[in-house]
Structure 1
Amino acid sequence: MSLRKPAGGSRYLYDSFDAAAARIEANERVAEERWTALDFRLGQIDAALERLERRLWLGVYGVAGFLLAQGAEAVLRAAMK
């Protein structure tokens, strides 16, 4: 925003305030902040999904290990009889 000088002269010599440009700049800044916040939140969601996936695979491997141990135990018991 430009300030008008109180000195004499034509009022058309000074820059006028461009409300449309200021509104566009404000909207661009708001949009940029929203994108930044969205990017941050998506990063958090991605990290949470990776942790969940890691836990899921740990559970799958645990169940598979348990089943293999049970199968090995059954084979050993059958071989001893």
Structure 2
Amino acid sequence: MGGSRFLFDSFDAASARIEANERVAEERWVALEFRLGQIEATLERLEKRVWLGVYGVAGFLLAQGVEALMSAGLK
């Protein structure tokens, strides 16, 4: 039997399409995980800033309270 094996082997288009879709889905999943990592890092930075603001306001209020107590004690 001579000739090319490609003349006798059939091409399975459905299988090739499924493999291509699986590769695309895997790449999308990797991109999604990367983006979620970026979002988590941004949220952590935002949380640190919020807590800094909360502690700043609390410190300001405590300082005002101490100042009020000290000025009331001097009168």
* TM-score class, shorter: 0.7 to 0.9
Q: Which residue of 2 aligns with 1:16?
A: 10
**Structure 1 residues 25-60: Cα deviation after superposition (integer angstroms, max 9, x where no partner):** 000000000010011001101110111111011001
How many residue pairs match? The answer is 72
Structure 1 segments unaligned to the other structure (5+ residues): 1-5
Could you say which structure has the greater relative contact order, defined with CA pairs below 8 angstroms and 6 or more residues apart? 1
TM-score (norm 1): 0.82
Structure 1 stretches (4+) deviating beyond 2 angstroms? none
Percent of aligned pairs with the same residue? Answer: 75
Using the alignment, how far apart are the partners of 2:50 and 2:3 within structure 1?
Answer: 75
Larger relative helix fraction = 2
| Structure 2 gap ranges (5+) | none
CA distance in 1, matches of 2:40, 2:9: 49
Structure 1 distance, partners of 2:3, 2:46, is 69
